[in-house]
Amino acid sequence: MSAPEEKIYDLIVVGAGMIGSAAAHHASQIPNTTVCLVGPPEPKVRKGQDIFGCWFDEGRLCYQINRNKIWCNLGAKSLARFRDLEKLTGVKFYTESGYAYVTLDKSTLENLMEVNQKCGFEAQDITNSWKNIFPFLHLPDNASVVWQSVNGGHIIPRKLVTAHQTAAQMCDAQILHKIVSTVLPSKCDTHKWDVVTECGSVLQGHRVLVAAGGFAALKPLFHHVAPQMVPDLELRTQTISYLCISAEEAQRLK
Ligand SMILES: Cc1cc2nc3c(=O)[nH]c(=O)nc-3n(C[C@H](O)[C@H](O)[C@H](O)COP(=O)(O)OP(=O)(O)OC[C@H]3O[C@@H](n4cnc5c(N)ncnc54)[C@H](O)[C@@H]3O)c2cc1C
């Protein structure tokens, strides 16, 4: 097998996170398409790392019902694939525990129930009965609650990434654990783009997809994009609380 640097890939995906791993998986299913997914794994020690991935944790909500129809569609389509992906790869990442949406705004409730009916989802308005169904919840008396018991719950992002990467490898995609420093136009006429990694290796590709998430603006990764199409990205800080509960409390909540 030739070294990654000697090959010319049809597609190089930069960023092995939630979107990049899924994109590599789907692209690798296209017949006669060679795919290379390049990005670092989750670091063992976070201190000193400038690049972060939004998938370095254990819980993401997933649901169909949404006020925005596009998100409804995307949610429904993603959920419909989860079990097949688990079966294919043997990686379990989805728990169908249901999804509850709480609002104090009656028009939001009406809007959600309208979407629910139009899309044929199974959500219910449990505003009058939530206290019996979820006696442990403390919500304001004027809260409206929408409950979808199926096709909703939570996924483990780390495992979803592993599942997509496993599936991509089953279709012969290559995965390289490297950080990309830049993407440059190739000087050869055999391929269009050189993807340069921080350790100095150069990957050659006809197309490049940047899926570097919130940290895409940290390195010059958009030389392959027409100037008017370069995403207008701005790095900002955000405070996120890290809540830690005891093992006993975790057990109680299960
Ligand atoms: C705290 C938190 C809670 C969230 N909760 C939810 C939720 O409940 N439901 C939901 O749907 N969404 C949720 N999201 C959003 C969701 O996680 C993100 O939308 C999703 O992860 C974005 O995927 P991505 O692939 O664009 O980015 P990421 O998953 O962050 O992946 C980007 C990858 O690119 C890599 N990378 C970056 N720069 C480079 C480079 N130069 N070279 C190589 N690789 C690079 C990174 O290492 C990373 O692995 C949440 C996000 C956060 C932070």
- Spell out the residues 6+ positions from residue 86 whose beta carbon is closer than 8 angstroms to its own: 92, 93, 94, 163
Whether residue 23 has its Cβ less than 6 Å from ligand 1: no
Q: Are 126 and 179 in contact, with CB atoms under 8 Å apart?
A: no
- CA–centroid distance, 212 to ligand 1, in Å, is 8
- What is the reported pTM? 0.90
pLDDT at 1: 60
* CATH number attached to the domain at 1-59+156-254: 3.50.50.60
Secondary structure of residue 106 in the 3-state scheme: helix
Domain ranges of the chain: 1-59+156-254, 65-82+93-154
Structural Rg of the chain based on CA atoms: 22
**Which numbered atom of ligand 1 lies nearest the CA of 40?**
47
Q: Give the rounded percent of residues in the chain with a pLDDT score beyond 90.
A: 73
Say whether 65-82+93-154 and 1-59+156-254 share the same fold: no
**One-letter-per-residue 3-state SS of 13-58:** EECCCHHHHHHHHHHHCCCCCCEEEECCCCCCCCCCCCCCCCCCCC
Using alpha carbons, select from 160, 155, 169 the residue that is nearest to residue 18.
Answer: 160
User: In the chain, which residues have pLDDT < 70?
Assistant: 1-2
Whether residue 18 has its Cβ less than 6 Å from ligand 1: yes
pLDDT at 240: 73
Q: Which CATH superfamily is domain 65-82+93-154 in?
A: D-Amino Acid Oxidase, subunit A, domain 2 (3.30.9.10)
Whether residue 240 has its Cβ less than 6 Å from ligand 1: yes
Measuring from atom 50 of ligand 1, which residue has the nearest CA? Answer: 54
pLDDT at 6: 83
